[in-house]
Amino acid sequence: MFHKERSATPTQNPTRIMKALPTEKANPKPIQILRTVFGYDHFRLKQEELIGRLLNGQNALVIMPTGGGKSLCYQIPSLIRTGTGIVISPLIYLMQDQVDALKQLGVKAEFLNSSLDARSRYRVEQQFQSGTLDLLYVAPERLFMPDFLNTLAQTPIALFAIDEAHCISQWGHDFRPEYLQLAEIRSRFPNIPCIAATATADEPTRKEILKQLSFTPSDLFVTGFDRPNIRYTVVLKKSVKNQLLRFIQTEHPKDAGIVYCLSRRKTEDIADWLTKQGLEAVPYHAGLSAEQRQVHQKRFLNEEGLIVVATVAFGMGIDKPNVRFVAHVDVPKSPEAYYQETGRAGRDGLPANAWMAYSLADVVMLQKILETSDADQQHKWVERHKLNAIVGYCESVTCRRQILLTYFGDTLSKPCGNCDTCRTPVETWDGTVAAQKVLSCIYRTGQKFGAGHMVDVLLGKKTVKIYRFEHNTLSTYGIGKGHSANEWHSVIRQLVAANLLSVDIDGYGGLRLTQSSWAVLKGEEEVRLRKDPEPERPKKEPAPKPSLSNTPEEQALFDALRNLRLELAREQGVPPYIIFHDTTLIALAQQRPQNLEEFGRIPGVGDVKLKRYGKAFLKQVLSH
């Protein structure tokens, strides 16, 4: 482990302190720390450039996909620069998770947040003031306490790192007002380098983060948003519990995953139902007690194969790398929310699934929530745009990854081949006449009835409602018998997604024409519609594990290594992945090192982990 020089606790102005102290030692080099501490031979994306900026005292706003290695960009400079790296995070569990992982590597790291008792806080504060910490993770609320600000002013600081930086922007999908105070830290310590990092930020969000932190445009680094290991799939919601169960049983038996729902009641309902079907599942939402949420989250981190069914209250602080799937049984409110939530799958870079069930009813519910909120009109306009974007994503007939990346200003030159629309291309048809029939029927019935009634009129049904309003006398009554009820529901859903229809959320979900509807009614605009695919059928066999070659020997060794990892993790009271990621176990199973020297070359095995775990895991490898 490398050791950097420490200074006696200074009492001068922090600006003068950082000018006087050296900003970078001649040795070690970042690549040495990457190899000996973290166990990797090569930097990814723009990690090396970003580390260099911080070592040179410059700032950076980095937009990097989940699992892309943002934390290394500030962890490595904190090990080289004089002083302690201060990492600001709103997530208590993520702090503890990252600190536990760093301690496994031999890094001197601690956290300060509300979960600590007075004695523990005092111990950490003393370590910080004495200059013995490489990294200190703090919550924003703790950062701005007067006593802690005074301590910062008298203690050498290597850098400031702001995690989940989208929380700074009012346009971000998870805006947190307390984050706006971070501008004060920049003004108090202008000569200490600062890095702000997030996986999700569109153009307006990026601009506001730069403005709030007094960064320049040259400080912005966007490494791309693509997560090629994630397979995106969207299905039409029919019997969503059975659809979800079929997906898990065929694609991810015994895998850890997250299922997102819009309501608390639904999380408990689905978790209970999955449990009755023989799966290990627990609910998670803000209505549960803090103790119960903590138990469920700890189980998810420490156990293999547990499913958490949750509202969006869960996941932001989850660093578990081997989450193999994220499922949405309701449509998320924005592409940012969807991207971040699905990004919790496959953080280790191994194949993972993002599966979503979608319906028009979800969209109407989200519209109603938005329009009845207390947000001002400008925010509502932005949120409408985001909701329209996620609906367009669901209804897309082209590569879903291209649609998602385009939203964030990223590009993909050709279809990805790893989403449902690429693997099973969607048929389209000329829906102009069908659209005209729907629009005409809605207009003639007064633009106040929902989709179900419109379909009944088009099919010439003899319902009480139709006769009560005398809709059987209209020219559009029965003109849609050439299509089934499901097909007409599909047409209406797609017309809403294309803004050729709107839904009256103030009343009872009545359909209304939009300004764009008239060009279609007059025959001035063609409408192309997707042909909904047939419901997915169960596969005869579970999908093979994509990570191994699946020879019996490799699989047996991988399972034995995973059992050993779980045993060691339980002894230490830490999540298994903190000892070694699945990617490291896979490499061990495939490469089968014969001695400690070869073991030390396995990705993810640094010097400290080699000393701690090398003999035990090597013995397991050799026994196979």
pLDDT at 5: 47
Segments in the chain below pLDDT 50: 1, 3, 5-26, 538-544
Inter-helix orientation angle 485-497/432-444, to 10°: 90
- Residue in the structure block whose two tokens are 């803000």: 286
CA dihedral 73, 77, 79, 84 (to 10 degrees): -100
Please count the residues of the chain: 624
pLDDT at 316: 57
pLDDT at 315: 60
Nearest to 511 by CA among 443, 422, 613: 443
pLDDT at 567: 93
pLDDT at 576: 92
pLDDT at 611: 94
Q: Does domain 428-530 have CATH number 1.10.10.10?
A: yes
Nearest to 299 by CA among 278, 283, 288: 283
Q: How far apart are CA 57 and CA 476, in angstroms?
A: 71
pLDDT at 17: 31
Q: Are 383 and 375 a contacting pair, CB within 8 Å?
A: yes
What are the start and end residues of each CATH 1.10.150.80 domain in the chain? 552-623
Question: Per DSSP, which regions of 480-534 are E strands?
Answer: 501-504, 510-513, 528-530
- For 14-222, give the CATH class: alpha beta
Q: How far apart are CA 160 and CA 144, in angstroms?
A: 14
Q: Which pair of tokens denotes residue 376? A: 């001002």
What are the start and end residues of each CATH 3.40.50.300 domain in the chain? 14-222, 230-423
Q: Is the dihedral of CA 433, 434, 435, 436 positive or negative?
A: positive
pLDDT at 538: 47
pTM of the model: 0.78
pLDDT at 548: 54
What are the start and end residues of each CATH 1.10.10.10 domain in the chain? 428-530
From the options 3.40.50.300, 3.20.20.70, 3.40.50.720, 3.40.1350.10, give the CATH code of 230-423. Answer: 3.40.50.300
Edge-to-edge strands of the sheet including 194-198? 109-112, 135-138, 84-88, 157-162, 194-198, 60-63, 220-222
pLDDT at 4: 56
Nearest to 167 by CA among 209, 138, 203: 209
Q: Which residues touch 406 (CB under 8 Å, ≥6 apart)?
A: none
Q: Are 510 and 448 a contacting pair, CB within 8 Å?
A: yes
Instruction: Tell me 533's DSSP state.
Output: P
- Strands 428-430, 528-530: pairing kind: antiparallel
Q: Does domain 552-623 have CATH number 3.40.50.261?
A: no
CA 477 to chain CA mean position, Å: 47
